[in-house]
A and B are shown apart, each in its own frame.
Chain A
């Protein structure tokens, strides 16, 4: 052993230890959500106390309070007196239940607890591939975002810890971003989190980036100074129904679709958007206190960005359903990634998208679509919280 200590080696060793300690400290700040957390489970702990109708003339609808603009639409639908009265005449009651992501909605549709729900394109495609749903209308047409602590190019995401909501639109947006950067899931460290946990985890250094839908990216940029959107992917959201419900209650289904059409039309006016934004913010705060509260104007503006993508009638875009369309490409990618069973075909999935429903509603209820009656708290429609 030489008498003189190899200082270069010692210095290098100290640096390695320091870096390892800092990374360990950063990881230890991250919420324990990388595996086996409640948000990764099919039944989130938050849903424990939900009371579903299960055949008692109650139509349970899964909503996503943390997703603009679907939350504005569903909040409006919850306060839509025309809808509630129409369903009441049929002896039905509408009940809305809040979920963190579309995959959770699918789980409860699969279990029969929900009759309808709001989900993004990935959960909608997954459910459609299983043949369990009928997709009626657009609920959102905008972007999901990749947010990081500093500007990065897509190929620089390799080796990074990236949070995502399993089975969601944002997850698919992440896959597309990785693909655009020449990467795969294996090139990153995936960390499953609920969307409302992501900005704080990024700020704490527990993750290097996350994939989420609005308003989470907006909150991240506006409330956490160094968080920036590094990529966005076009994504869409849908209102869909369980196959059983669509077969058993076609009229009720059309009433609900009409309510969505009505809500989209109503939200076309700024004052209505502000009002709905207030409702949505109240629901967000009640559902999760992890995200900073936005003001109504920002919330309404964010919602409008995606609402105009829907256009005045949230018809299912024909171009997206073409064999070489956006949804077909997404379906193929999901199948390649084993998110969808290999035996499923695009034709089977495409048939789940029922463009005739909206046309039917428009042809039979056009006048109704231009009448609005939204009532404040204490509305006829119940919700779980």
Chain B
């Protein structure tokens, strides 16, 4: 489509198509994309930073904070458990110490010890020793005391009194043990009056994990001779401390291990192989257990004996400098982070909803922003397409409205400029058109003149060329004719004499020498000879005529009379009729009468020869056409063969048996000298016709005009 300035550009439909193909490049799309991506980025980064923390800052993130919060909780729980275990141990030691210092017990044991020592050294069998010992007076008192303590504290399985040297049990709340070796102690290594010694854990015959606390019973000699051993099952402390407590969740677990990392308490969960770890058999190889058993305390993240990720606090419990336990309090990390995972899921869901809302809101708002811009764009498009009356219909009070107002003002200014310019252009165009028309006419005239001149020159050139051709042709013909004429003249001169002699001989013969016996045949042959001599004579005449070429001497001639004269001279046979139709009558023509007579005579002669004594007609018509006389010569003979038309006027060309071939050549030569032309107009089939065209003289035209005016 052409624009107002005439330039071409894409159509509106093409442009909108381009816009659609670049849909993501529009402001609307960019707004939606940018705000959506921005929101997503902010949401994700905010959530990420909130979860993971901000690098190089004190903000740790919720995950770390949650972990460390849990570590703090676990640490507190572990410390509490450790304290409880330590206090429990201390209480057990205190119990043992208190019992070991009990004066009544000390005295009673001292008695029994002496008796037991004597019995054992006397190699009496164990059972008998035991029964004898039980008969001792102080035995039941001591046993009762031990049983009272056991029952009172309600945590001890049994209480034993062991000989310091022999390690044999000589008093026990379990009578079956009397006389047997104490399982927990080698040579006594208890020295302190303050702290009782704690043994390593062992599994008793009842498959319980038990602990023994021993204390020297210092006799009156201030030498330890006996040891009181209090045996306590770990179940007591496990139930009360490790399985539950404040801050200890249902999924949490506390594991107690010895220095070899053997568990001292049953595990809460099954092992990966489905079995249950057994105390003092299963070794917990987890990092926390190893560290705790090695005397370290702290917090860690690790995989527990199930392979589950857990947070763990590990503590070392100093039972004695020789004996220590590791305590691991752990919590599944999944449980720790469950709240955070739930938050993440909730945030993801709300984020998704928010993103959708943001996208919709952005789309709506983007439309509001871009609609005025599109209006402005479309108005600009219309202006570009030539509609300077177009104005943007934006009435908002923002930057786009200001832009639209400025745009409208600009277009108005452009329109007024355009109109003014259009006016000037029209005026100037009219002037230019006029000038152009003038110039055009001048150019046309010049062109016409030039063309006319050209045609004139061309015509002149053609005429000149034609004249030259004619002249050349004539010259050639004339040269040929001259040559023929010269030859002919020579031939004519040379033949006339013999023909004269022959003619004389024929006369003589006819008159004086014809034998009577020759009869008519001789005369017939003599007549033939006369005809042939006449024909030869005519040829000679024609040839001679050609040598007697002279320019025509024109004078006003009555064409009708000339034609009648030519027919009278031709001596036509009775079978041939002639007619002449001339208009006007009299038909005056300025010609050389003698030469024209020869032309007409030659044509009549040709017609007679063509008719060959058959019925026929010869007709001559003459008319004035413009400034020329047009004369038609027609005979009803067989006509001229098509192949002979072009050669008809050549010298010496003939179709007759007895022709010189020069008649039409002479006619053409005479007519040409008169400034006219002769041509064959009818050929075979309907006779033969020639058109002669001769120029009228100026005088003949005047006379005609006078006649026309007068008549």
Contact = CB atoms under 8 A, between A and B. Distances in A.
Partners in one complex: yes
A295 interface: no
B307 to A, nearest CB: 20
B119 to A, nearest CB: 28
Nearest to A18: B56
B300 A310 contact: no
B297 interface: yes
B298 A370 contact: no
B318 interface: yes
B56 A19 contact: yes
B71 interface: yes
Contact of B321 (A143, A265, A310, A358): A310
Contacts of A236: 321
Interface stretch (B189-197, B406-414, B653-661): B189-197
A175 to B, nearest CB: 12
Contact of A362 (B191, B297, B318, B323): B191
B195 A153 contact: no
A150 B68 contact: yes
Contacts of A180: 287, 291, 296, 298
B192 A312 contact: yes
B295 interface: yes
Contacts of B320: 311, 317
Interface string A180-215: 100000000000000000000000000000000000
Contact of A309 (B56, B259, B318): B318
A367 interface: yes
Nearest to B324: A234
B183 to A, nearest CB: 19
Interface residues of B, number: 32
A143 B294 CA distance: 12
Contact of A233 (B71, B90, B296): B296
B295 A326 contact: yes
A308 interface: yes
B195 A311 contact: yes
B72 interface: yes
B192 to A, nearest CB: 3
Contacts of B287: 180
A236 B318 CA distance: 12
B322 interface: yes
Interface residues of A, number: 40
A49 interface: no
B222 interface: yes
Contacts of B316: 143, 232, 234
Interface string B72-85: 10000000000000
B321 A153 contact: no
A154 B300 contact: yes
Contact of A311 (B72, B192, B259, B300): B192
Contact of A308 (B195, B291, B295): B195
B71 A231 contact: no
B656 to A, nearest CB: 111
Contacts of A312: 191-195
B301 interface: yes
A326 B294 contact: yes
Contact of B68 (A151, A233, A367): A151
B299 interface: yes
A242 B485 CA distance: 175
A118 B295 CA distance: 21
A151 B71 contact: yes
A8 interface: no
Interface string B322-345: 111000000000000000000000
B290 to A, nearest CB: 9
Contacts of B291: 180
Nearest to A358: B191
Contacts of A19: 56
B222 A232 contact: no
Nearest to B69: A151
Interface string B170-198: 00000000000000000000011111000
A151 B194 contact: no
A234 B321 CA distance: 10
Given A138-B321, A231-B296, A319-B322, 20 more contacts: A141-B321, A150-B58, A153-B301, A230-B299, A232-B298, A232-B316, A233-B295, A234-B316, A308-B90, A308-B195, A311-B192, A311-B321, A312-B192, A313-B191, A313-B195, A315-B321, A318-B322, A319-B323, A320-B321, A359-B191
Smallest CB-CB A-B distances: 8 pairs: A234-B295, A312-B192, A312-B194, A232-B297, A317-B321, A231-B298, A151-B68, A312-B195
19 contacts: A143-B297, A146-B298, A150-B58, A151-B68, A151-B72, A151-B299, A180-B287, A180-B296, A232-B297, A234-B324, A236-B321, A265-B193, A268-B194, A308-B90, A308-B318, A311-B195, A311-B320, A318-B322, A320-B322
